[in-house]
A and B are shown apart, each in its own frame.
Chain A
Amino acid sequence: MKTTNDSGGDVRLTGIGKTYGAFTAVHPLDLTVPQGSFFALLGASGCGKTTTLRMIAGLEEPTTGTVHLGDQDVTHLPPYKRPVNTVFQSYALFPHLDIFENVAFGLRRRGIKSVKKQVEDMLELVQLGEQARKKPHQLSGGQQQRVAVARALINHPKVLLLDEPLGALDLKLRRQMQLELKRIQTEVGITFVHVTHDQEEAMTMADTVAVMNAGRVEQLGAPADLYENPRSTFVANFLGTSNLIEAEVDTRSGDDIVLRAGGGKLVLPAARCTAPTAAGGKVLVGVRPEKISLTHADDAGSIPEGRNRITGTIADASFIGVSTQYVVDSAVCPELAVYAQNVERDGRLVPGAEVVLHWSPAHTFGLDADQDIDAGVGSVEEEAA
Chain B
Amino acid sequence: MSTLTEAPPPLTPAAPAKKPPRRRGRWTPYWLLLPGLLWLVVFFALPMIYQASTSVQTGSLEQGYKVTWHFATYWNALGDYWPQALRSVLYAAAATILCLLLGYPLAYLIAFRAGRWRNLIMILVIAPFFTSFLIRTLAWKTILADGGPVVGALNTLHVLDVTDWLGWTAGDRVLATPLAVVCGLTYNFLPFMILPLYTSLERIDGRLHEAAGDLYARPSTTFRKVTFPLSMPGVVSGTLLTFIPASGDYVNAELLGSTDTRMIGNVIQTQFLRVLDYPTAAALSFILMAAILLMVTFYIRRSGTEDLV
Contact = CB atoms under 8 A, between A and B. Distances in A.
A57 B211 CA distance: 10
A79 B210 contact: yes
Contact of B210 (A81, A92, A95, A105): A92
Contacts of A84: 214
B208 A92 contact: yes
Contact of A106 (B210, B215, B218, B309): B215
B221 interface: yes
Given A92-B207, A92-B208, A155 B215 contact: yes
B221 A109 contact: yes
A78 interface: yes
Nearest to A93: B211
A151 to B, nearest CB: 7
Contacts of A96: 226, 229-230, 307-309
Interface in A86-101: 86, 88-90, 92-96
A158 to B, nearest CB: 13
A92 B216 contact: no
Nearest to A78: B213
Contact of B205 (A80, A92, A152): A92
Interface in B279-305: none
Given A95-B309, A96-B308, A109-B221, A86 B226 contact: no
Nearest to A109: B216
B218 A80 contact: yes
State the main secondary structure of chain B at its contact with A. helix
B125 interface: no
Nearest to B206: A92
Given A80-B218, A109-B221, A94 B213 contact: no
A59 interface: yes
A113 interface: no
Interface in A53-99: 57-59, 78-81, 84-86, 88-90, 92-96
B94 interface: no
B309 A155 contact: no
Given A94-B226, A96-B308, A80 B217 contact: yes
A110 interface: yes
B213 A80 contact: yes
Which bracket fits the contact residues of B?
A: 20 to 34
Contacts of B215: 80, 85, 105-106, 109, 151-152, 155
Nearest to A57: B214
A92 B226 CA distance: 12
B255 interface: no
B212 interface: yes
A110 B309 CA distance: 27
A162 to B, nearest CB: 12
Interface string A157-197: 00000000000000000000000000000000000000000
Interface in A105-139: 105-106, 109-110
Interface in A311-338: none
B213 A95 contact: no
B213 A59 contact: yes
Given A80-B218, A94-B226, A96-B229, A88 B213 contact: no
A59 B214 contact: yes
Interface in B216-265: 216-218, 221, 225-226, 229-230
B216 A155 contact: yes
A92 B229 CA distance: 15
A109 B213 CA distance: 10
Given A92-B208, A94-B226, A96-B230, A79 B214 contact: yes
Given A80-B214, A96-B229, 13 more contacts: A78-B218, A79-B210, A80-B216, A80-B217, A86-B211, A89-B207, A90-B207, A92-B208, A92-B211, A94-B212, A109-B215, A151-B215, A155-B215
Q: Which 6 interchain pairs have the tightest Cβ spacing?
A: A106-B215, A92-B207, A109-B216, A92-B211, A79-B213, A86-B214
24 contacts: A58-B213, A58-B214, A59-B213, A79-B210, A80-B216, A80-B217, A80-B218, A85-B214, A86-B214, A88-B207, A88-B210, A88-B211, A89-B207, A92-B207, A92-B211, A93-B211, A94-B211, A95-B208, A95-B230, A95-B309, A96-B309, A105-B212, A109-B215, A155-B215
Interface of B: 205, 207-208, 210-218, 221, 225-226, 229-230, 307-309
Interface of A: 57-59, 78-81, 84-86, 88-90, 92-96, 105-106, 109-110, 151-152, 155
